[in-house]
Copies of this chain bind each other. A is one copy, B any other.
Amino acid sequence: MSVSTVKSNKCFGGQLTKFSAKATSYNGLETKFNVFIPEGKGPFPVLYYLAGLTCDEDNGATKAGFQGPAAAHGIAVVYPDTSPRGAGIEGETAAWDFGVGAGFYIDATSPKYSAYYKGYTYLTQELPGLLRKTGLPLDLTRQSLMGHSMGGHGALMLYLKNTSTYYASCSAFSPIANPTRSPWGTKAFAGYLQGGVEEGKAWDSTELLKQAKGRELRIRMDWGGADDFFKAGQLLPENFLAVAKEIGAEDQVVATEREGYDHSYYFILTFAAEHVAFHAKYLNALAPGKPE
């Protein structure tokens, strides 16, 4: 599959470029992603930002404030979309928390969605290949993950699931940290997965963390104390932290509730530089990969 450039804007000395490609994981549908690369020669380590419900590849690039700190640390940022678009599955655009804009970064198994909704395969296998085809100076042997809300779930889940892809570190803003116990998560899993919420445990960060005992974890997590979704039990970081304690990993999960902050991009913006610095510490300590 070929990758084409939609547009490109100079930003903080680097370049933010939007690409378009047909994605096999999305049954051949067109998908878009933004890539920021800093000024200089590279190759640059790659930090993914997974956005939340209703978002696409632009929300993080325009509103989250990652480019400035990424330029300072010499890190590339990749902003994928949150779901396939245009599948035409009946009802997929009816709700803001399910279907289009709400793929949950998992591979669907229910017959209705499984042909198109393969977000996990897209992110872990297909997107790195598309990134290679851009010709940008990216070092895909050094990758880390961050995300917000549904994307925080996505970042934690991808990091904790034993994939063939290595991620150096993971951070989440206001993540849906225990989706099998939250209204958003159970709705999504019931719809996308043939085995429903029970099958969803394989995509649930809090469940996955139980299996991570003994593994070195590099996780950072922040959420707002005034976040209405946190207060309504949609996020449940407390469940994730309880498991971290159970497996003796509480020192490897830096988790902070931020007083007065809500679920918006203004919260992300405030802590964007700290999250990028967290990842830079690990990404820039790794030896650069061989050019491909």
Contacts and interface: CB of A to CB of B under 8 A. Distances in A.
Interface string A250-292: 0000000000111011110110000000000000000000000
A223 to B, nearest CB: 13
A262 B9 contact: yes
A148 B79 CA distance: 26
A226 B7 CA distance: 13
B226 A270 contact: no
Given A63-B63, A65-B68, A269 B10 contact: no
A12 B67 contact: no
Question: Counting chain B CB atoms within 10 Å of each CB, which of A9, A12, A260, A262 scores highest?
Answer: A9
A261 B12 CA distance: 9
A10 B262 CA distance: 7
User: How many copies of the polypeptide does the oligomer hold?
Assistant: 2
A12 B63 contact: no
Contacts of A68: 65, 269-270
Contacts of A65: 65, 68, 269
Interface in A212-229: 224, 226
Interface in A1-21: 9-13, 16
A163 interface: no
A119 B203 CA distance: 53
A265 B64 CA distance: 13
Contact of A266 (B16, B224, B261): B16
A164 interface: no
Contacts of A12: 269-270
Nearest to A16: B266
Contact of A11 (B10, B13, B226, B266): B266
B265 A62 contact: yes
B63 A270 contact: no
Contacts of A10: 224, 226, 260-262, 266-267, 270
B264 A9 contact: yes
A268 to B, nearest CB: 10
Interface string A135-175: 00000000000000000000000000000000000000000
Contacts of A67: 266, 269
| Residue of A12, A63, A65, A266 with most partner-chain B CB within 10 A | A266
Q: Tell which of A62, A226, A267 has the most Cβ of chain B within 10 Å.
A: A62
A65 B9 CA distance: 16
